[in-house]
Structure 1
Amino acid sequence: MLDPGKIIFHMNPINSVVKPALLSMRRPVFLLIVLMRCAVPALWAQGSGVVEGRVVNGTDARIAAAGVDLDVIGLGGGMTVLKSAVTDPSGRFRIEGLPTGPPLMIRANYQSVNYHSRFSLDASGKASVEVEVFEATTSMKDIRVEGVRLGFQLDGDHLRAVETYSFVNETKPKKTFSSNRGSFRFTKPAGIAEPPRLSAQGPGAPMPLTQTPLESADGQSYYSLYALRPGTTTFELDYVLPYHDRTYTYRKNFYQDVDFFQIGVIPQDVAVTGEGLKRIQVDVAKNFAVYTGGPLKAGSEMAVTFAGGTPTAAGESSEGSAEPRIRPMPTSVGRYTPIVGPLLLMVFIVVLWYAYNNIPAKQPKDSRTRELRQKHEQLLQFVASLDQKYENKEMERREYHRLRAHAKSQLRRISLLLGKK
């Protein structure tokens, strides 16, 4: 390690007067940056906390989870790996030297799939954790798509789009679907300029994982390798489509059977046509319309044409409406959180759909409740990320209060809906 008092600078003789002066000014700043960067991991690493427990196999309890890689992750201010370990032959572990203040999580990597379990240290600085992992499968048997929801918003000469898909893994015994051909595949829309932004969140994951989807060899679709663990996994993606001639035909192939799909569009006067498509709700005040279709079998294609529509002012979805305009925008913790605009719009759409009781009867009541709770958790995480970004002075006060107010409004709506369940 360099001794700050013995740093040697090699100078060009021509600039022997100017460079030493500049370097002497820069050295304190440089040293401050180095010290600050070194202080962050040191702060996390300090502590006397201890976590112990075991990794259990949820597919077959007789299989010992031996040699499983573990990471202890700090959740405050981003996801930071604090300590790493490996389970013993019986699947047990003990990890020491943990900070006692921030929220923590254990991440176990089993058969190339990550599993998570959050924990908190007690007053004595100890915690006991059990992490459940599952055997992998490449069969989609007992894994279904519970719902497909698409949101489109007119934005000048473009259509901004958000899609959500919920996969429910009900395998018995419980197994995790994992395949190098992808767990979630979707059609590449015509005219798309950049790959969609994709986020995925599985059961037990603390927050959505944002990733770039992979493009198929034939260039006709994208796919994700995110594993489908037992329970519900939700994929959300957003992208921009051309709307130069005030019309666009959206074509989509379905790779799994779908009981129904729903389309939300802003503004409500955009003409939406397609085979078997029905308009089930128009909200003039919110300038919002909802359409539904299905069921569709795997391998079938859906074609929906959008035409016309009254442009709205930037940042508004309707006159007098406080709902946010859909737009890509990074959050305070970047790659670990969903994009602000799509998240708020998608929650807005989902809440409206539930509020108007437009979910077909085929979808079980408990699954609707589960999805609402999942959206509620995502919004809570979003609000926390906004607070952190504002505290770090990475967001303007006006924008912070506007987005936070929108999020809190959606939280209240979801809470009211959950109270009726």
Structure 2
Amino acid sequence: MAAGAPRVFVSHLSGVPVFDPNGDQVGRVRDLVAMLRVGGRPPRILGLVVEVVSRRRIFLPMTRVTGVESGQVITTGVVNMRRFEQRPTERLVLGEFLDRRVRLVESDEEVTVLDVAIQQLPARRDWEIDKYFVRKGRGGALRRKGETLTVEWSAVSGFSLEEHGQGAENLVATFERLRPADVANALHHLSPKRRVEVAAALDDDRLADVLEELPEDDQVEILGKLKEERAADVLEAMDPDDAADLLSELPEEDKERLLTLMRPDDAADVRRLMAYEERTAGGLMTTEPIVLRPDATVADALARVRQQDLSPALAAQVYVCRSPDETPTGKYLGTVHFQRLLRDPPFTLVSSIVDSDLVPLPPDTPLPTVTSYLAAYNLVSAPVVDESGSLLGAVTVDDVLDHLLPEDWRETDFHGEEGIRHGR
């Protein structure tokens, strides 16, 4: 772990209030959800169990936690209010780790876990267990008199998975080391039954990333085997253009049912994309590019570009528009490329360095024209603007490639990192 990375003992999080970016309280932390991993790796923290005002307990992914400090948790403001249901691959830290009897690796001495420290990985939103606060002794009268000490996660046995067995838990933990495209390739070659079991054991964000890399038949098969509420959660976690592509493969009644279960804002983005022909700029675009107002500074733009969840193609440039700054926006003014942001002082207004020379793409631009546009101007992303001059979204080169390659390209010519090393 990098020095200075945030570390928090979980006992200090119990009952801590959770706030959205506006300062409104969402609820209180009641537990943390962890996933055990193979190979002696520390358990990963997936998210928080938060009790909201109605006393319902919901799941808040750690990817949507922006701050854990001063006795409070700050979220991105996007909260799914569906009731939390623990999955077979998940462990509750407060409920299942504390007071657990484990052993010290070096001495084989039995100890009791009194507290657990979690730490954020450098430059990422991922958190994992870092240390254990334990007491020596076998309990009873001796328990309060036993020596207490704080040890590294690796100094304790009993909090990792054995690398054998057929449970989906073990395979999911192994898959965690792989990129989504490689997990998708592995899933594709499992039996249908096993594929659905493993997919169901993945957390929502991870499954969304993997689904985006799978052939359409596999996507439809997996989504159809999930509970409808879970399927809606996964669709919300997918990029809107990928979710729209997947929903377009479903029967009309299934499509509408899932859209109704999704959050209204997410469903609205997907419906808007589904209104365009598939092989056009409107059908290819994502509705979530980086949009800034004219009075934003270079520093503001760089802060947005640094967001971990952005793909490299979307992080390559920002789009300057008049308010509102969510698609569809006010008047589109132009683009500022990442390289230009690096050359200008942080206090520079983006409106003073905007590139307005390139004509944006209309939403009905056909795929061959989009491809030529990106190639001619050496772009990895291009703005899509409607007749009124509002920015609708951005087409990225990865989405264009998905539609240019043969339909079975995921199954034939590419087999992940091993395929590259062996020339397959």
Indicate the TM-score class for this superposition, using the shorter chain for normalisation: under 0.3
Q: Which has the higher strand share?
A: 1
Please give the TM-score of this superposition, normalised by the length of structure 2.
Answer: 0.23
Please give the TM-score of this superposition, normalised by the length of structure 1.
Answer: 0.23
